């Protein structure tokens, strides 16, 4: 029996799946070419249908912080699978996972488990509106909070404007209460609260935006958001689906808490790492806020597979590994090494490149300075990124197939993998120049 090629699989897939993929960025539309169909993975590597091995810097878009096939996680999942796939009833492991999450995130007293980041962000938004009795929300251009209708909006340039849908099928009426502002723009957020402060239910933000590659919110910006939300009775919602337990053991909010005394978000949203590669996410807050949720309060939220026993086993095993002493020090050092290697290779080849990283998450841009807004990200050299992406793919290194996505390092990446990445980058840069 012949092994199918990536191209043949893509042709088959396009006949039965829209665009041939079940999540748009996988289609390689941004970079061109044929997507790789992954057959298996182990440690820091993925292997496509043709047997080609790649050093993996996607990590299933963040969850695989331990690498693929970690023994402790495999054992936990296998044991859970024997006991049953799904019950539609509560289990002890749900309680254990909730306790583990809460022990690492002091801003929350309670947490509700769901099945996806989109579901968690959508539910957090509903909770904020229900708890405040207000309708308006603020989000920021370039921040992605899943594909719930009210959050699929973008902003124009200049002063703050109410959003317009960026997806067909989203009525303008659904997003009429969504205000979209420029990331890291203090003046705009002050103007928005001056105009609409008594009607704003929440401000939702990615503290490190991973869907415009890697752009961190400045400390003064986060500090001002917190002050304004407190002053006007709005809730500050930290979307940590990507950054949660990835940039630090206490997530991104722990980093800002070190710089801003007493800092806490009102609601936090988590996903990816807490599921360890299984469909699992969560949102949480102080007890008084979470008591607004059904069955205790009027804000309804439910899910057939919420707290799935296999997903919770996978997530619990993952969290117990990453909280071991020294784990994040080592992971951060590996991530810094990857980024430094890429930047050094670019300098040697005379390619303008900048980057940033935190914990196990990193990003790079072909530009002369780090962007701080979505507009600045869009002004970086996309065409060169696309060529670099394919050059690295040809050399066995798999970055995200879009300029707008962050990269992820796992604890399974070895020093040899990091050196190989830098060497491949230097070779790619020289070829592209």
| Residues classed as catalytic | 144, 239, 272
**CA distance linking residue 340 with residue 63, whole number of Å:** 23
Closest CA to 373 of 157, 215, 213: 215
For 342, residues 6+ apart whose C-beta sits below 8 A from its C-beta are 353, 355, 364, 421, 422, 425
Beta bridge partners of 165: 153
**CA distance linking residue 313 with residue 305, whole number of Å:** 14
**CA distance linking residue 225 with residue 11, whole number of Å:** 48
Q: Is the dihedral of CA 249, 250, 253, 258 positive or negative?
A: negative
Sheet containing 53-56: which strands, arranged edge to edge?
38-42, 45-48, 53-56, 397-398
One-letter-per-residue 3-state SS of 365-388:
ECCCCCCCCHHHHHCCCHHHHHHH
CB 113 within 8 A of CB 307: yes
Closest CA to 99 of 324, 319, 322, 291: 319
Beta bridge partners of 205: 238
CB 198 within 8 A of CB 235: no
Beta strands 178-181 and 136-140: pairing type?
A: parallel
CB 45 within 8 A of CB 89: no
CB 375 within 8 A of CB 182: yes
Give the phi and the psi of residue 39 in degrees, each rounded to 5: -95, -35
Closest CA to 143 of 234, 212, 229: 212
For 396, residues 6+ apart whose C-beta sits below 8 A from its C-beta are 52, 53, 54, 55, 420, 424
């Amino acid at each position: 029996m012949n092994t199918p090629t990536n191209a043949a699989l893509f042709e088959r897939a396009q006949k039965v799946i829209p665009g041939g993929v079940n999540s748009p960025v996988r289609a390689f539309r941004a970079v061109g070419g044929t997507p790789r169909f992954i057959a298996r993975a182990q440690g820091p590597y993925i292997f496509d249908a043709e047997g080609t091995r790649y050093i993996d810097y996607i990590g299933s878009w963040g969850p695989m912080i331990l690498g693929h096939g970690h023994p402790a996680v495999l054992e936990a999942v296998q044991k859970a699978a024997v006991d049953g796939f799904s019950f539609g009833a509560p289990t002890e492991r749900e309680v254990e996972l909730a306790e583990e999450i809460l022990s690492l995130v002091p801003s929350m007293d309670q947490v509700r488990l769901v099945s996806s980041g989109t579901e968690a962000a959508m539910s957090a938004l509903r909770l904020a509106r229900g708890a405040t009795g207000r309708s308006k929300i603020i989000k920021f251009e370039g921040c992605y909070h899943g594909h719930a209708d009210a959050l699929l909006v973008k902003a124009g340039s200049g002063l703050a404007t109410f959003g317009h849908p960026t997806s067909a099928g989203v009525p303008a009426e659904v997003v009429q209460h969504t205000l979209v502002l420029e990331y890291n723009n203090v003046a705009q957020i002050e103007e928005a609260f001056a105009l609409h402060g008594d009607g704003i239910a929440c401000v939702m933000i990615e503290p490190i935006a991973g869907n415009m590659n890697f752009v961190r919110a400045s400390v003064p910006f986060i500090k001002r958001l917190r002050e304004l939300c407190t002053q006007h009775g709005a809730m500050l919602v930290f979307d940590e689906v990507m950054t949660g337990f990835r940039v630090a053991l206490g997530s991104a909010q722990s980093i800002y808490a070190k710089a801003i005394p007493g800092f806490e978000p009102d609601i936090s949203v988590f996903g990816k790492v807490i599921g360890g590669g299984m469909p699992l996410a969560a949102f949480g807050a102080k007890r008084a806020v979470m008591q607004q949720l059904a069955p205790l309060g009027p804000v309804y939220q439910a899910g057939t597979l919420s707290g799935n026993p296999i997903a919770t086993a996978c997530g619990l095993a993952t969290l117990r590994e990453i909280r071991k002493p020294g784990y994040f020090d080592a992971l951060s050092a590996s991530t810094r090494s990857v980024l430094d290697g890429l930047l050094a290779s670019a300098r040697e080849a005379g390619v303008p490149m900048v980057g940033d990283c935190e914990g196990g998450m990193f990003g790079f841009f072909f530009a002369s300075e780090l962007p701080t807004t979505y507009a600045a990200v869009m002004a970086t050299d996309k065409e060169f990124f696309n060529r670099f992406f394919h050059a690295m793919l040809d050399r066995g290194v798999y970055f995200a197939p879009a300029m707008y996505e962050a990269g992820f390092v796992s604890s399974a990446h070895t020093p040899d993998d990091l050196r190989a990445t830098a060497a491949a980058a230097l070779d790619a840069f020289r070829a592209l120049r």
